[in-house]
Chains A and B, each alone.
Chain A
């Protein structure tokens, strides 16, 4: 076999060209009209849109035919996002948890939106206060909030009644009573758990338990407040519920066997009696098990006042986004009241088709939520589900968000790790939270 020099050079050049082309990224050429709010926008992290998402995409396309939208399906991936920003080749929009905004804003991975909010005349007053505070860092707005998840306690009515209890017996106002009733509802056969009485949902709901006991995990200035004795006390109580019900390793292993989204969910199979959960789960339950005897009570603080912990998603503008104006136009349209109403219509059609019930959209737009509720949320004949929906609507008015911080990710990692150390039996709550405070303070100081 022989290869002459010309063939070799041609082959090698071809390979080099292919290599370079392969590394060239996927971003489309930005059109010359991009800066004027036309052209194309690419999203990252929006996932695969459901009926509510698709209706809003359609609404945007109809309202802005001069802007081409490319939805990159898939959940938010920090590695993908940061790599794209670092390489100067980001998407025009990124869709992420609001809790991450502070960290990314502090690093300069996101652009402030204030100028474009002003130019495009976006009324930020329409969004819920806790959601706006989560996307605001150093008085600059870095995101437009979209959904708004709150928590209440959902109850397996049949199991509760069989135990001779009422929904109020599973209220979080009286911790001693809750502890006793959780133990009463818990069932096990030998080393195998067959039913959890009350799942406090640790570590993720620690902010809610801490708030119920009068403590915030993050101060209003963004500094960590993890070693508040009230937080340690709340963690100790929530952990005691788990200890009383088999201990963490069995408790978690049993919970991992639940079919969360199916017809054989934990309530239907009598594997759980009560737990706090986000509002969207009512929609899952009514579709998966419409005949379920669902009961609910608001999550309350120890004085009996309803409280809820909220979080949700937001749209943000990555550093280096080429078509900022069109991107912010997208944010405006996707979260506008009239767009949510179109999404409500789409969901109502889905509900009618499935002969199900409308359980709310839970948006960060106050007016949109009111209008959607007025127009589409009607008594369904399933009293328990209707009551749960009304509890979630009520909790949108009383919910709090963990305060925004430049070290938001580090603080969350610190308290999550602390709770996991407690659950694993490695540390006592006070010790774990002290260590968490030390770790979080260090990270916060470094970013100050």
Chain B
């Protein structure tokens, strides 16, 4: 530390003696303007469609607003109400249980697939495409498909389980199995995570494995001591993203258990995820002010969970530039 400071002091003194500021890159205003010109659609979009709605939603969360009549300021009433609303607690519980089920499962499955892909030689491109294709499937279509596959009485998944003597559960109608079934459905769209892990795996220096192997490390030890630390940055990134996505679960659960008059009638409490309840409050019973408060509570929860994850990551995540 002392040496560094000393070096910097010397450098400053030398510059001062030379009578000029440190030479930096010259600002090319023409290019900067052009850059902002190209960025402007995104900037406009971000301000108009993200920042402004967020600020409006923050304001609405302190009002009684039904989308038709003018908002009526009610102070913190909506926030007080959501603290005593049993459905908020239920929806939060469902969402957190689902996140705890899905995130580790998704990371494990994606990593397994990525490791398999990393070993494939000739047809690697083909398999990468195959694993990524489900991401391109519309979520509503995939959800509708899984409703059939997961049917407890005649679905293909339970029929397959029967081949090995296992009586599968009623995934879509038994309260205890709805969230595991949904987590299974969501594994369908893991292609993006697989690609990220694959890229990370391909960046791990081969000489580390060779050295470990020479030292007698087995495959499990190589995976634990080399692979996991070296891809921990990617693991951490996907953990954050998957956690946020899980907490915002909507499309698949809504399609499978609430979408349309028919499913909505048979809605099972076990599938009441937080964002679904928020949507019901906003557009089902027109409590937009309350729904806005719900949205901000979720924002706070995600922020908190992400902060904890970031904090913990400092102990477990290795970045190449770190010392």
Contacts and interface: CB of A to CB of B under 8 A. Distances in A.
A417 interface: yes
B265 interface: yes
B240 interface: no
B130 interface: no
A109 B68 contact: yes
A447 to B, nearest CB: 10
A417 B40 CA distance: 47
A354 interface: no
A8 B269 contact: no
A424 to B, nearest CB: 5
Given A5-B33, A409-B284, A417-B269, A15 B44 contact: yes
Given A249-B170, A409-B284, A443-B285, A192 B30 contact: no
Contacts of B45: 19
Given A16-B44, A319-B68, A409-B285, A420 B269 contact: yes
Interface in B264-300: 265-270, 280, 283-286
Interface in A213-260: 248-250, 252-254, 256-257
Contacts of A257: 151, 153-154
Contacts of A413: 280, 284-285
A107 B286 contact: yes
Given A2-B34, A108-B69, A250 B285 contact: no
Nearest to A246: B153
Contacts of B270: 424
Interface stretch (A77-85, A127-135, A333-341, A382-390): A77-85
Nearest to A409: B285
Interface string B209-252: 00000000000000000000000000000000000000000000
B61 interface: no
Nearest to A76: B261
B285 A410 contact: yes
Interface string B155-186: 00000000000010010111100000000000
B266 A15 contact: no
Q: How large is the interface on A (under 10, 10 to 19, 20 to 34, 35 or more residues)?
A: 35 or more
A252 B266 contact: yes
Contact of A253 (B173, B284, B285, B286): B173
A86 B285 contact: no
Nearest to A16: B44
Residue with the greatest number of chain A CB neighbours at <10 A, chosen from B147, B153, B167, B267? B153
A203 B263 CA distance: 11
A228 to B, nearest CB: 21
B26 to A, nearest CB: 15
B37 interface: yes
Contacts of B108: none
Interface string A1-22: 1111100100110011001000
Contact of B37 (A8, A192, A249, A425): A8
B191 interface: no
Contacts of B268: 420, 424
Contact of A15 (B40, B152, B154): B40
A82 B68 contact: yes
A8 B34 contact: yes
A283 to B, nearest CB: 19
26 contacts: A2-B30, A2-B31, A15-B41, A19-B44, A19-B45, A19-B48, A78-B283, A82-B286, A83-B67, A86-B68, A107-B67, A107-B68, A108-B69, A193-B153, A249-B152, A250-B152, A250-B153, A250-B173, A252-B170, A252-B173, A254-B154, A256-B147, A256-B153, A257-B151, A413-B285, A416-B265
What are the 8 A-B residue pairs with the smallest beta carbon separation, nearest first? A253-B152, A249-B174, A249-B170, A249-B173, A3-B34, A252-B173, A8-B37, A79-B283
Given A3-B34, A252-B170, 17 more contacts: A3-B30, A12-B37, A16-B44, A82-B68, A83-B67, A107-B68, A107-B286, A250-B153, A252-B266, A253-B151, A253-B172, A253-B173, A256-B153, A257-B153, A319-B68, A420-B269, A426-B269
